[in-house]
Structure 1
Amino acid sequence: MHFIDLKSQYRHIETDVSERIQAVLEHGQYINGPEVRELETCLAEFTGSACCIGASSGTDALLMAMMALGIRAGDEVITTPFTFIATAETIALLGALPVFVDIEPDTCNIDPALIEAAITEKTKAIMPVSLYGQCADYDAINAIAEKHGLPVIEDGAQSFGATYKGKKSCNLTTIGCTSFFPSKPLGGYGDGGACFTNDAPLAKRMRETRDHGQNRRYHHPRLGINGRLDGIQAAVLLSKMALFPGEVKKRGDIGKKYMEALDDTRITLPVIRPHNTSVFAQFTIRIADRDALHKNLQEKGIPTAVHYPVPLHRQPVFNQPDARLPVSDEVAKCVLSLPMHPYLTHDEIKRIATAVKEAL
């Protein structure tokens, strides 16, 4: 059994992927070629955003977003400690300080009720994460940001394709960023990412930032990075976009089947807000004796993973021994992710659920 099954997906698009990659090899425009522009148009239309800027990774997308907003050394950016390190890593790389705010105990997304108290005169942005495939509470977050004149950057690395009150993830805030790492809901065959915005001047700054800060050849009005999405990854993603809407629906259906199959157990199941849809980048449960369940499932050939075992305020690079973020600390001890991908069969779900119940 696969934790994420990319091979089954590939079998559906093998011919189209090969043809699109061959086209890139034939025209030889490997950087900023026609596939990148086509993909940016396709992704912007999918999210409903005015502008999409392809990036070399989800990490670089976050970096580009903050650089375009002018975030620099000495600034503060409010974010969550319960996420992959890239979220806070990019803040620190700019010399800014990640200010961690605790999470909601049910969704594991940043708790909007705690954000305002963390704002200081040094705060320059709020960066929530749409964790496990579900968007954070952006109405509440945007209202706080507007009150204080702050931009909001959605880290939507896990939520591309999800909706919040009918609107797509990555079109909910000043800038939305996502990742096309292979295991993401929409993943390439290597690294990739994108930024989204409805602000044309901001989009222009992000485009310049991703290309060494230049607005024309050998003219650099700003510092930038080499953050470009390559043409072969764009070709792969264009092939996958044909499947993606159907895969989003399948992910939702599989999430519901898991919920039904595990409803009568002592496991804490994911909570999806009524106004949200989730793409279930992970199907993450909570259980006190996580290690025992992990070992039991492993012995039965069922792979699991932990997202995330150490919250960022406890990581050596950010170590904040005096930080009081009790929900993040507690959740990190008991989360366990079960296999999740659009090609998970009914029999596999039944086998996993049965194995979980037997272990309990």
Structure 2
Amino acid sequence: MEDWWIYRGTGEPHPGILRLPAPPPWRVFDGGPPVAPHEGSDAAVPRRLGDARRAVTYRPRREEVELVNAALYLRRPLLVTGKPGTGKSTLAYSVAHELALGPVLRWPITSRATLQQGLYEYDAIGRLHEANLSEHTGGGARDLGIGRYLTLGPLGTALLPYEQPRVLLIDEIDKSDIDLPNDLLNIFEEGEYSIPELRRVSSAHPRVEVQTADGGQVVVERGHVRCRAFPFVVLTSNGEREFPPAFLRRCLRLDLHEPDADQLASIVEAHLGPGAKTASDDLIERFIGHRERGTLATDQLLNAIYLTSTAAVERGLGREELADMILRYVESDAGLG
């Protein structure tokens, strides 16, 4: 194990982030005053197949570990490219778990995603509705507090002045509008942003408490947020588009390859136990054969092994027939990924 590694890829939590050296002079950020991360859990993790468990069982290759550490040292985003099921998103959860950096802040990208949505959302209509309701029910016109209607997004929350970096997963950036990667450039360089709605009222209300993406609350001073520890940003891509050179220059790039037979065996053992690993050599070979003819994710192998070790035994179904049926079905599914 390399002495300079902060993230080791072992799945065992440790305080290694405290050994992270100071950033290079051009990546120093001085936001403040420091805020404490919200202690709540990432409630969405259990709903995403295997993410919580994979954070513990994920075993990256040496190249992946070194690039993660390079991104931590240099305070640069990590652009991770690979086919579905290669562990792109799981890498972010693995880093957050091992370095005890709190719940992952996840921003799933769609074609309609905008920079402002990643930074914050302001419910102006809701505020107007409550003001009208208060007036018509005898409450009179009153200041309802703009902070009640403003929620920081995943990116906006990650850029709060924490003492230690938060982990931000910007998932499937290649699905974004063509302008979003360029819109992110200034944020990645400056590590700060402004909220115009708060700046307009800053004379009367210089400190406004707003909600964060992870369910907490934080005070924003004069409508401006600047990070203190640049977040560990993972941007995932299926390799479906090219990105602008200026965007690529600001990221470190990691290409994830599909796991080989030995790595698949280790994954099976981590998720389903040593017995499943011993009994699944034939299914791993069949999975690799299927994968050569089309895109398959590791999830599908785990599904096939689990089903053939339960349904095939309990109901007398043919093991290989059931595995092939499941793999063909998922392989042709339009929602794969």
TM-score of the two chains, using structure 2 as the length reference: 0.25
Instruction: Report the structure number with the largest CA radius of gyration.
Output: 2
